[in-house]
Amino acid sequence: MPDNIAYVLVHSPLVGPFTWRPVYQEMTGRGIKAITPALTDSSISENPFWLQHAESVARDLRELSLAYGLVLVGHSGAGPILPAIRQFLNHSVEAYVFVDAGIPIDGFSRLDLMKSEDPEWARQLEEELLNGQHYPTWTADDLRDIIPDEDLRQKLASEIKPRSMEFFSEPIPVFDEWPEAPCVYIKFSSAYDKVSERVKEAGWPIYELKAGHFHMLVNASMVADLLIEAIDERGIVP
């Protein structure tokens, strides 16, 4: 693969950058450039969450040479903000990879996307959020079945960020030219069955594994292999 490709591994805003840490270590151990930016936001900021997150990725990439072409990789809730992130970058973006993730629709909120994917569950979540509850409230024990390793599970759980209705209801923009680069989908779990149907209709290549939603914490080597294979098969050269 080209040595001037950098994989930008973006975590969901509901968790933290540790989500991608084992894959990052796997890729860098193979001599592949990988970056795990941290999505940051402040409750006192007047900017929407998606904007704060896009700007935080851009800040983390500021020192990266412009000679690198980027592969933006979004897991789960990071999927809908990949186009927004792209708008704040000076680097060229060579491809987008969605990993068990939502697919952006211009002006849709996260809740809107959830309603298009799983209406019944989304309505239940909306009711809870309207009553002042936050999501997610997973504990390490809740994740035991999909992340068997206790240490990895505890580290992921320590970064969970329960969010309010304000987060889930904000509309997220998608710029007119998107996607201006190839898109690839990697599906782990049945929760994204409807999303994968949209992906197939769009003609994007899709790679499917029967795995848990956080499979990058279960088999980092396999997920790294898939990411590299997906880009190599597209023949992407910056």
| Residue 78 maps to a domain | yes
| Residue 13 maps to a domain | yes
Q: Could you tell me the residue range of the domain that residue 174 belongs to?
A: 5-231
Q: Domains in the chain: how many in total?
A: 1
Burial of 113 (0-12, 13-18, 19+ CB in 10 A): buried
| Residue 46 maps to a domain | yes
pLDDT of residue 95: 97
The 10 Å CB-count burial string (b at 16+, else e) for 138-176 is eebeebeebbeeeebbebbbeebeebebebbeeebbbee
Could you tell me the CATH number of the domain that includes residue 205?
Answer: 3.40.50.1820
Q: Within the chain, which residues score under 50 in pLDDT?
A: none
| Residue 100 maps to a domain | yes
pLDDT of residue 28: 97
| Residue 236 maps to a domain | no
| Residue 238 maps to a domain | no
Three-state DSSP at 93 gives: strand
| CA atoms of 20 and 220, how far apart (whole Å) | 9
Model pTM?
A: 0.96
Q: What is the pLDDT of residues 201-232, one digit of tens each?
A: 999 999 999 999 999 999 999 999 999 999 99
| Residue 237 maps to a domain | no
- Alpha helices by DSSP H, listed for the chain, are 21-29, 49-60, 82-86, 110-117, 119-130, 150-158, 165-169, 193-202, 220-234
pLDDT of residue 238: 59
| Residue 52 maps to a domain | yes
| CA atoms of 126 and 120, how far apart (whole Å) | 10
